[in-house]
C-alpha cells in the first residue's frame, strides 16, 4: 500500500513539473503569437492591414475586432512618454465590433495603441 502511494506521489510530481514547465512566463512570446495571428489574417488580403482604418481628417481610428482572431479585453493608448492617455474596457463588446477610437482631442505626436487580449498585446504605432 505504501509503495502504491509513493509511486502515485512521484508520478503526480512529474506530471505537475511537466505542466508547470509548459507555461511560458515570457510575455514577448505571447506578443509574437498574437502578432502572428493578425499577420496571418492580414496577409490573406494582399498584405494590407485591415485591422486599423484611419480617417485622417477626423483623426479617428476604426479597429475591426472581427479581423483579429483573439478576444480583446481592453484598449490603451499611450503617448511617446509611455503615459496612458486613453483606456477602455472592451471585453463585453461582440467579436464583430468596429471600435471607433477618437483621437481628435490629443496633441499631434507619436502614440502607441495597445489592443490587449487575454493572451497578449497587439501594438500599433501611429503618428499624426
Reported as a single tens digit per residue, the pLDDT across 19-78 is: 555 544 444 555 454 444 444 343 334 444 568 888 877 788 899 988 888 889 999 999
d(CA 90, CA 117): 10
Backbone angles phi, psi at 20, to 5 degrees: -65, -35
Per-residue pLDDT band for 80 (boundaries 50, 70, 90) equals: very high
Please write the tens of the pLDDT for every residue from 87-100: 999 999 998 999 99
pLDDT of residue 2: 74
Per-residue pLDDT band for 84 (boundaries 50, 70, 90) equals: very high
Give the pairing type, strands 98-102 and 72-79.
unpaired
d(CA 97, CA 76): 17
Residue 78 C-alpha cell reads as 499611450
Architecture of domain 26-127: Sandwich (2.60)
Task: Compute the C-alpha angle 57/59/119, nearest 5°.
Answer: 145
pLDDT of residue 126: 87
For 104-126, what is the mean pLDDT? 90
d(CA 99, CA 86): 14
pTM, two decimal places: 0.60
Report whether 124 contacts 54 (CB < 8 A): no
The domain limits of the chain are 26-127
**Residue 53 β-bridge partners:** 62
Amino acid at each position: 500500500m505504501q509503495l502504491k502511494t509513493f509511486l502515485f506521489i512521484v508520478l503526480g510530481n512529474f506530471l505537475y513539473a511537466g505542466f508547470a514547465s509548459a507555461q511560458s512566463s515570457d510575455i514577448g512570446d505571447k506578443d509574437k503569437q498574437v502578432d502572428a495571428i493578425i499577420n496571418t489574417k492580414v496577409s490573406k488580403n494582399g498584405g494590407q492591414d485591415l485591422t486599423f482604418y484611419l480617417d485622417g481628417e477626423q483623426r479617428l481610428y476604426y479597429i475591426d475586432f472581427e479581423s483579429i482572431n483573439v478576444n480583446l479585453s481592453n484598449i490603451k493608448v499611450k503617448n511617446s512618454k509611455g503615459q496612458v492617455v486613453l483606456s477602455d474596457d472592451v471585453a463585453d463588446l461582440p467579436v464583430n465590433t468596429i471600435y471607433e477610437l477618437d483621437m481628435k482631442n490629443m496633441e499631434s505626436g507619436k502614440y502607441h495603441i495597445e489592443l490587449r487580449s487575454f493572451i497578449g498585446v497587439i501594438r500599433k504605432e501611429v503618428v499624426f
